[in-house]
Amino acid sequence: MARCDQGYLCRVCNAEVEDIVDSELYLRFVIGEIDPETLHTSPECHLRCNALLAQFISDPRFEPRISVEGDFSMSALDSEFVRTKSDLVNRGYARLWEIMQDEVGMAVIDYPLEEVQSKWR
């Protein structure tokens, strides 16, 4: 298979990231951590391969739940930060499901959450 036919490969496990709901890159884009100008040059990663981000996902469609031990575990972080980050990441993850199920095919620039789009305008 030609490299262009493989899709995006995970920088951690080197396997193909097949669906947007498994994409750490697109989740970070949707929640505003990746600028639209650098999206195409940023490396891809499975959500499960980035436990530091995945630990904030509590959506039942994301199983099994990821946990992290040590200084960067949710239990070791400031509770207000955890609440805010969990809310943002879970809304972003739900947005990935909306994008995946979109039959019209929205433009990539419309993927981010509304508050992220407003910030970039």
Q: What's the pTM value of the predicted model, to 2 decimals?
A: 0.90
Average pLDDT of every residue of the chain: 92
Comparing CA positions, the residue from 10, 94, 100 lying closest to residue 86 is 94
Residue of 4 and 105 predicted with greater confidence: 105
Comparing CA positions, the residue from 97, 90, 94, 92 lying closest to residue 113 is 92
pLDDT grade for 14, boundaries at 50, 70 and 90: very high
Domains of the chain, residue spans: 3-120
Confidence check: pLDDT of 2 > 80: no
